[in-house]
Amino acid sequence: MMQRQFLVCIRSLLSPDALFVQASIDGKSQIRKYHQTAPTMFYKRFMNREGKKALKKKEEEDSEIDAKLVEDKVQGLEKVSKIPYKIRVATYEGTADRFLNRIFKQVEESGEKSEKSFNTAIKIYKLNAGLYMRGHIEFGDLALSKLEEYELQYNLEVYKMIFSIFPEGKYLPKSKIDAEFVPFPRQQDAALKVLSKMMDNGVIPDEEFGRMIISRFSQRSKVFARYMRMLYWMPKFKYMNPWPVPRPPPKDPIQLAVMALKRMSFDIQTKITVVNNSQDGDSASEKFIASAQSPKQIDLLSKHGPSKPIIVEGEHYVYLRKIQQKVFFLKTDPEKEIMSDDPDYYKAMEDKEDEELFDFTTPMSEEEQTAIVPKKSVHEQEDGTVYAMCITSDSSKESIQDWIQFLQTSNPALQHIPVLFRIRDADFLLNETIKQEEEE
């Protein structure tokens, strides 16, 4: 039996067919060996170049279908006219270069900066980004930075348009455990930037915004947790300010000046008078003086001695959110000199306050002689008595002089009292601070 198997093997080796196969294997040894070890389907695709061409053609057809689907989706979003232009970019440009600057630049060239043009820019991005919204993180950061430029930082609908660039269903966690490990952290951080911008500007999200978050990141995401905290806390703090500033704040400088003086006035009987010196009707360019004075301040000014001068002090800053107002005070110097440079001055004041905490009397102790002192008003402070306040259009010395002349009509005693100006602008204070730092 063994001899027969040995003869069969020798016959197969010496046959001419076997020699032909061995020669062909030696000629293409690398491919044959690769063919013997690789799967059959992969080998066929590797050897067939026509398959690559067919696959590339199929990808081009799929991209054309995707572009058509996106265009149909944008048109069905709202019944508006078709956007007359579409940004064409080179394929070698990156995502950031493609979307960050060219979209808004194209919109700004076509018209003014408004809510309509901002929404048009977002629609153009959706039309060019594809179904999966390539580069939506970079475009969202750019859109948030453009809100102040377009004056749309208080508009909830604009924030919804920005948040709609996140694709639905792409960043949902697979399970509860997956949600605890914060999947897609970069995308969630980009969505948190939108909510943080809303919180900084006092924009409270609604129920529709919550549904948008659930469809994109789920209820167990960091984004939804921030949304729930905003719904809880922001309505509580919305009406806590006793001097509310509307959103957006008014652009009229006279209205802003009146709001700032109301905030600075402690006396509820304070009367605010606006003197308008402009001839044209444009409130943005007109010159005005807004003065605030109460009957108690008029009474205190009438009792002021003519030998002691009154000081116009300023400029002091009052902020209505991000709008700065410059306030000037008509006041007196403090009755007692405050030794603010003495390091032991504040320590002595603290020791005196600590002693007053344990200041009590017993029936056997002698009573100290005390005098009846009239109670001071809110206008009589430690650093002086405030007689009036004002805000002018240009904060110049000439406008302050006009304000003093206006006060003389309701305060006749002011005509016989010397007035000193102690006015320092912000540039002067900055230069003084730089000099002090250089000397140190």
Judged by phi (left if over 0) then psi (alpha if -120 to 50, else beta), residue 438 lies in: alpha
Q: Residue 385: CB partners within 8 Å, gap ≥ 6?
A: 300, 331, 332, 379
CA 263 to chain centre: 25
SS3 percent helix, strand, coil of the chain, rounded to 5, is: 55, 10, 35
The full length of the chain comes to 440
- The pLDDT, as a whole number, for residue 298 is 94
- Report the predicted TM-score, pTM, of the whole model to 2 decimal places: 0.63
- The pLDDT, as a whole number, for residue 136 is 85
Q: What's 240-283 look like in SS3?
A: CCCCCCCCCCCCCHHHHHHHHHHHHCCCCCCEEEEEECCCCCCC
- The pLDDT, as a whole number, for residue 162 is 94
Task: Specify the pairing of strand 310-320 against strand 419-423.
Answer: parallel
Q: Profile the chain (440 residues) by mean pLDDT over runs of 10 residues.
A: 56 50 44 46 51 67 60 52 45 49 77 85 82 79 91 93 92 92 93 95 94 94 96 91 85 93 90 78 73 94 90 89 91 70 68 69 66 80 90 89 92 91 68 69
Q: Residue 332: name the closest of 358, 375, 295, 303 by CA.
A: 303
Contact 136, 129 (CB under 8 A): yes
- The pLDDT, as a whole number, for residue 428 is 56
DSSP 65-104: HHHHHHHHHHHHHS--PPPS------TTS-HHHHHSSHHH
Structure-derived torsion over alpha carbons of residues 154, 160, 164, 169, reported in degrees to the nearest 10: 130
Tokens of 201: 């500007």
- The pLDDT, as a whole number, for residue 260 is 94
Q: Residue 129: name the closest of 89, 157, 163 by CA.
A: 89
DSSP 307-323: TS-EEEEEEEEEEETTE
Q: Side chain identity at 186, as an amino acid letter?
A: R
Q: Residue 205: name the closest of 224, 186, 189 by CA.
A: 224
